[in-house]
Amino acid sequence: MNAYNFQNRLVLVFDLGRVLIDFDPDIIISRLSPYTTWSPQDIRYLFSTAEFIDAFEKGKLAPEEFFSILRRILKLDHLDYESFVRIWNDMFFPIPEMLSLVRWLRERTNVGLVLLSNVSSLHYEFLYSQYQELSMFDAYILSYEVGYRKPEKGIYRRLLDITKGARALFYTDDVERFVYSARELGIDSEVFRGYKKFLFDLKNRKDFRKIVDMIGDERIFEIIKKY
The percent of residues in the chain predicted with pLDDT above 90, rounded, is: 92
pLDDT at 226 over 70: no
Same domain, 79 and 191: no
pLDDT at 220 over 60: no
Q: Which amino acid is at 161?
A: D
71 is a domain residue: yes
pLDDT at 146 over 70: yes
Q: Where are the beta strands (DSSP E) in 72-221?
A: 92-94, 112-117, 139-142, 168-173, 189-191
pTM over cut 0.85: yes
Tell me the CATH number at 77.
Answer: 1.10.150
Tell me what the pLDDT averaged over the chain comes to: 94
69 is a domain residue: yes
Same domain, 123 and 218: yes
Q: Which of the listed residues 43, 69, 88 is the one where a domain comes to its end?
A: 88
Same domain, 107 and 79: no
pLDDT at 47 over 60: yes
pLDDT grade for 19, boundaries at 50, 70 and 90 = very high
Task: Give residue-wise pLDDT tens across range 82-101.
Answer: 999 999 999 999 999 999 99
Task: Give residue-wise pLDDT tens across range 175-187.
Answer: 999 999 999 999 9
1 is a domain residue: no
Give the pLDDT of residue 2.
57
pLDDT grade for 216, boundaries at 50, 70 and 90 = confident
Kindly write down the DSSP assignment for every residue of 25-89, as one continuous string: HHHHHHHHGGG-SS-HHHHHHHHHH-HHHHHHHTT-S-HHHHHHHHHHHHT-TT--HHHHHHHHT
Virtual CA dihedral for 112, 146, 183, 93, nearest 10 degrees? 70
5 is a domain residue: no
Q: Which domain holds residue 126?
A: 10-22+94-226
Give the pLDDT of residue 1.
42
Give the pLDDT of residue 182.
98
Same domain, 192 and 102: yes
Q: Which of the listed residues 44, 70, 88 is the one where a domain comes to its end?
A: 88
Give the pLDDT of residue 4.
82
4 is a domain residue: no
Give the pLDDT of residue 217.
61
Same domain, 40 and 18: no
143 is a domain residue: yes
Contact predicate 105/111, CB 8 Å? yes
